[in-house]
Amino acid sequence: MNNSTGSTAAVRAAGVDIKDLRKSYGNNEVLKGISLTVEPGQVVCLIGPSGSGKSTLLRCVNLLEHPNAGTINVGKFEATDPDVDLNRMRQSVGMVFQHFNLFPHLSVLDNCTISQMKVLKRSKSEAAEVARRNLERVGLGHLSDRFPDQLSGGQQQRVAIARALSMDPQLMLFDEPTSALDPETVGDVLAVMRKLAQEGMTMLVVTHEMGFAREVADRVVFMDAGVVVEEGPAEHVISAPSQPRTKEFLRRVLDPTHIDVVED
Amino acid sequence: MAMTARQRAKVSLYVQAGIFVVAVAAVILAVDWKTVGNSVFNFAKIGPMFPDIFLIGLKNTLIYTALAFVVGLSGGLLLALMKLSSFPLYRWIATGYIEFFRGVPALLVFIAFGYGVPLAFGVQWDVNIVVMVSLGMVASAYIAETLRAGLQAVPRGQMEAARSLGMPHWRAMVSIVIPQAFKIVLPPLTNEIILLTKDSSLIYVLGLTASQYELTKFGRDGISSLGAGLTPLLVAGAFYLVITIPLSLLARKFESRSARTKR
């Protein structure tokens, strides 16, 4: 899906513009001046070895991590402006976590309605209607009365996506959404994400699913050691990488059983 | 000849059980049952304790405990949130408070509020208020530590998910983190109520009128008026168990029930 912009009028998509972003923990600089643009309606996949800073970058976009320098613009919000209304900004940015982070004390439906009611001040019935619509969207309308611990990992992640969608976000952030899942449930989650992409949602996805990235992403960004090493259309970065570090990473990911023969 | 490890363990268990039986038998034989029977198990004369032990003793113990618990729970929650605050002054105040009131005997706190306040401010507090304040303040120090542990046991991802949905920090606390923390601390919190129930007996240091007696004071009163030796105290003690054993069972039920509950 390469040019998805404007395919569905229902989504008011927002773009992301990141300029020279830096983030350190103590003396350890994990983001060393990252610049990245996601156009409204685009899907961008962030790939790279663990510790490369891609999750930190994603978490900086809705300010779960506070960058030390640089600017981030999300739609009409300047996230790095100290005066930004963080809660308003986060309402328009959906976040999906590796470990789902569903609220275990609330039913599936209440997980999807609570912030609609408490933050957007929607009525209970309106919130429930929106929640049911989004649970249908991820194929789980029939499980709305269950509790999170009664669901499989894949189902929990789809509920987490429905929960985020219920706030009518203009941008969705995915932080390794399938990394904690049993292999047989990964496909359902990826199918939901693929559908979202087709509907024109702006998506920034940290992932190790190279098949998904190749098929769905408009652009793929390869990060290593806190810098963007290579970026471009998926068919270039994944199928014909130009940088040696990208080649090395992809060789390991795509052929994990490959063993280098070392002579001794 | 040599025993296997399993045989040795078995013999060791028999020896332990034997020592226990011998010890219990020795105590039973050593007791002067005739005297004890007259002064502790003299149930013939305790008729006058009823029904007032329900209507006054048990009722007041329950009221004092409940009042102290309400103060202890709200104060404890406030202190726990202060202790986890990013604002250092709040943390210092909470730490100082908790260390002080956990460190001094509850009896001294009762005396301080029961006798100190009238001296200092010239006001005579109602007994209910003295209990509520003094026992409540001690309880809040203990409960604060319990709640703090509970709040910290809620995974960080819960706060992050709530904030990512646009909730302000206080809203995420109220709707997401605190309800989960309470579920975690329900068993230890039940234990706090049991401790409070027993600590409410310390109120005897205050001058109480007959209608304000709680179980222990009621029992002590029976010692002097009934001529049944210590038997009234034994009866009062049994009434504490009437309160605390169901609470223990409740705590165990909370503990065994998995995290999930329908409300």
What HEC string does chain A produce? CCCCCCCCCCCCCCCEEEEEEEEEECCEEEEEEEEEEECCCCEEEEECCCCCCHHHHHHHHCCCCCCCEEEEEECCEECCCCCCCHHHHHHCEEEECCCCCCCCCCCHHHHHHHHHHHCCCCCHHHHHHHHHHHHHHCCCHHHCCCCHHHCCHHHHHHHHHHHHHCCCCCEEEEECCCCCCCHHHHHHHHHHHHHHHHCCCCEEEECCCHHHHHHHCCEEEEEECCEEEEEECHHHHCCCCCCHHHHHHHHHHHCCCCCCCCCC
Share of chain B above pLDDT 70, in %: 97
> Tell me, what's the pLDDT at B206?
84
CA–CA distances in Å: residue B121 to residues A71, B110, B117: 59, 16, 6
Backbone dihedral angles phi then psi of residue B219, each to the nearest 5 degrees: -65, -45
- The neighbouring-strand residues paired with A72 are A18
A225: which 2 tokens?
Answer: 């050691």
Contact B169/A at CB under 8 A: no
Separation of alpha carbons A107 and A102, rounded Å: 10
State yes or no: pLDDT of B202 exceeds 80. yes
State yes or no: pLDDT of A262 exceeds 80. no
Task: Name chain B contacts of A147, Cβ cutoff 8 Å.
Answer: 260, 262
Candidates A62, A99, A104; nearest CB to B259: A104
Residue B72, min C-alpha distance to chain A (Å): 25
Q: Which of A38-47, A80-89, B121-130 has the lowest mean pLDDT?
A: B121-130
State yes or no: pLDDT of B50 exceeds 50. yes
Fill in the DSSP letter of residue B206. Answer: S
| CA-only gyration radius of chain B, Å | 24
A64–B155: do the CB atoms touch at under 8 Å?
A: no
A95–B168: do the CB atoms touch at under 8 Å?
A: no
State yes or no: pLDDT of A254 exceeds 90. no
> Residue B39: pLDDT band by 50, 70, 90 thresholds?
confident
Contact B152/A at CB under 8 A: no
Candidates A88, A90, A118; nearest CB to B164: A90
- For residue B201, the SS3 value is helix
> Tell me, what's the pLDDT at A1?
41
> Residue A2: pLDDT band by 50, 70, 90 thresholds?
very low
B163–A102: do the CB atoms touch at under 8 Å?
A: no
Average pLDDT, chain A: 92
Separation of alpha carbons A95 and A166, rounded Å: 12
State yes or no: pLDDT of A111 exceeds 50. yes
State yes or no: pLDDT of B128 exceeds 90. no
Residue B255, min C-alpha distance to chain A (Å): 16
Structure pTM?
A: 0.85
Contacts of A86 (CB under 8 A, 6+ apart): A63
Task: Name chain B contacts of A104, Cβ cutoff 8 Å.
Answer: 180, 259-260
Better-scored residue on pLDDT, B252 or B99 = B99
A229: which 2 tokens?
Answer: 């090493």
Separation of alpha carbons B168 and A139, rounded Å: 30
B155–A101: do the CB atoms touch at under 8 Å?
A: yes
Contact A74/B at CB under 8 A: no
State yes or no: pLDDT of A185 exceeds 50. yes
Separation of alpha carbons A243 and A245, rounded Å: 6
Q: A58 and A46 in contact (C-beta within 8 Å)?
A: yes
Give the mean model confidence (pLDDT) for residues A237-253.
92
Place of tokens 């996805």: A205
Give the mean model confidence (pLDDT) for residues A40-51.
94
Separation of alpha carbons B66 and B70, rounded Å: 6
Q: How many CB atoms lie within 10 A of CB B53?
A: 22
* ipTM score assigned to the predicted complex: 0.91
B179–A115: do the CB atoms touch at under 8 Å?
A: no
With CA atoms as reference, the chain A residue closest to B168 would be A87
Q: Which of residues 151-170 of A touch B (CB under 8 A)?
A: 160, 163-164, 167
Contact A121/B at CB under 8 A: no
Share of chain B above pLDDT 90, in %: 59
B161–A149: do the CB atoms touch at under 8 Å?
A: no
Size of interface A-B (CB pairs under 8 A): 66
Is the four-CA dihedral A212, A215, A221, A225 of positive or negative sign?
positive
State yes or no: pLDDT of B211 exceeds 80. yes
Q: B80 and B90 in contact (C-beta within 8 Å)?
A: no
A165: which 2 tokens?
Answer: 């969608």
Q: Which of A1-10, A117-126, B151-160, B226-235 has the lowest mean pLDDT?
A: A1-10
State yes or no: pLDDT of A151 exceeds 90. yes
**Residue A145 falls in which region: left (phi positive, over 0), alpha (psi -120 to 50) or beta:** alpha
Give the mean model confidence (pLDDT) for residues B151-155.
96
> Residue A253: pLDDT band by 50, 70, 90 thresholds?
confident
With CA atoms as reference, the chain B residue closest to A65 would be B160
Task: Name chain B contacts of A97, Cβ cutoff 8 Å.
Answer: 157, 160-161
A115–B167: do the CB atoms touch at under 8 Å?
A: yes
With CA atoms as reference, the chain A residue closest to B179 would be A105
Give the mean model confidence (pLDDT) for residues B236-240.
92
> Tell me, what's the pLDDT at B123?
85
Q: A204 and A171 in contact (C-beta within 8 Å)?
A: yes
Contact B153/A at CB under 8 A: no
State yes or no: pLDDT of A71 exceeds 50. yes
> Residue A7: pLDDT band by 50, 70, 90 thresholds?
very low
Backbone dihedral angles phi then psi of residue B80, each to the nearest 5 degrees: -65, -45
Contact B159/A at CB under 8 A: no
Separation of alpha carbons A167 and A153, rounded Å: 22
Candidates B166, B180, B183; nearest CB to A87: B166
> Residue A263: pLDDT band by 50, 70, 90 thresholds?
low
Q: How many CB atoms lie within 10 A of CB B194?
A: 18
State yes or no: pLDDT of B125 exceeds 90. no
Separation of alpha carbons A15 and A219, rounded Å: 14
Task: Name chain A contacts of B167, Cβ cutoff 8 Å.
Answer: 87, 115, 118-119
Candidates A90, A104, A150; nearest CB to B163: A90
Contact A84/B at CB under 8 A: no
> Tell me, what's the pLDDT at A104?
96
- For residue B124, the SS3 value is coil
Candidates B160, B162, B260; nearest CB to A147: B260
Separation of alpha carbons B192 and B84, rounded Å: 21
